[in-house]
Structures are given as structure tokens and as C-alpha cells.
């Protein structure tokens, strides 16, 4: 599998076509599910290539957040991909929601999760329960 920057040069301007090819490879790999631990590194690399080639894609960012959860390193890689989506999808509350979930659930960082979820709660389409969740997370991080 090529490094993302090499794949970008190799695409010869057909970034989206090559991104689609690697996206299909990622979906097929996730569908195998024989050994998720060994697949997570390869899956993370595939999604990295996809989002480097075509950063305007939307679903692969969240796909990575859900599938990259075997180790803390996987979660951090998924979080990096989610953060990369923010400039390209500034109004997408779900990317921030998944990042907030990962920060809270996997990395046990309630304060950081509250900040990200607070941003998500102010976006169009965000669920009404998010502000209450932010308050709950802030109370946990403040040891009230």
C-alpha cells in the first residue's frame, strides 16, 4: 500500500478515482473480519490514503472512527483522521460527535470530549441531548 503522499502523486490528477479504489479495498478488508487486530493497521492506512487523495469525502472519516478501536494507537489514528475532516466538513456535527465519543470512552478524557461535543451541539442537525451530555462530561472532569 502506498504512502498517502505517494498515492497523491501517483494518481496523475485522478485523485477521486484512486480514492474510490482504496475506499472499496477498505470496505472489503473490514468485511473480512477474520482478525480485526491485524486488520486495523492496514485499515487505518487505507483510510489515510482515501482521505489524503479526496479530503472532501465524508463517510470514510466516521468509518475510521468506528473501525479503528482495537488499540489506543488505533483510536488516536482515527481521531487524527476525524480532526482532518473539520476544515473540509465544518458543519458536520457527526465528525465531532465521534471524536468526542472516542475521547471520552477510549481515552478517558472527559474535558476534551466536552469541548468537542460542545462545538458539535451548536451545529445544525445536532441532537438535542448533546448540551446535557456536555454538562455531564464537564461535571465529571471537574470532580463535582
pLDDT by residue, tens only, the chain of 144 residues = 777 777 777 777 788 887 889 899 999 988 876 665 668 888 999 999 999 999 999 999 999 999 999 899 999 999 999 999 999 999 999 999 999 999 999 999 999 999 999 999 999 999 999 999 999 999 987 755
Under a CB-based contact definition with an 8 Å cutoff, are residues 65 and 94 in contact? no
What is the pTM (predicted TM-score) of this model?
A: 0.87
What's the confidence (pLDDT) of residue 119?
97
| Residue among 118, 115, 58, 128 nearest 89 (CA) | 58
**How far is 126 from 93, CA to CA, in rounded Å?**
6
Whole-number pLDDT of residue 38:
65
Amino acid at each position: 500500500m502506498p504512502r498517502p503522499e505517494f498515492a497523491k502523486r501517483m494518481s496523475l490528477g485522478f485523485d477521486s478515482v484512486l480514492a474510490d479504489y482504496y475506499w472499496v479495498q477498505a470496505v472489503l478488508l473490514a468485511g473480512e473480519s477474520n482478525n480485526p487486530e491485524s486488520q486495523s493497521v492496514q485499515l487505518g492506512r487505507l483510510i489515510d490514503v482515501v482521505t489524503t487523495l479526496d479530503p472532501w469525502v465524508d463517510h470514510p472519516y466516521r468509518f475510521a472512527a468506528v473501525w479503528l478501536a482495537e488499540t489506543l494507537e488505533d483510536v488516536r489514528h482515527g481521531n487524527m483522521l476525524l480532526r482532518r475532516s473539520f476544515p473540509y466538513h465544518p458543519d458536520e456535527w457527526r465528525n465531532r460527535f465521534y471524536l468526542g465519543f472516542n475521547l471520552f470512552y477510549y481515552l478517558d478524557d472527559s474535558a476534551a470530549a466536552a469541548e468537542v461535543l460542545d462545538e458539535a451541539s451548536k451545529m445544525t442537525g445536532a441532537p438535542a441531548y448533546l448540551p446535557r451530555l456536555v454538562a455531564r462530561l464537564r461535571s465529571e472532569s471537574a470532580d463535582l
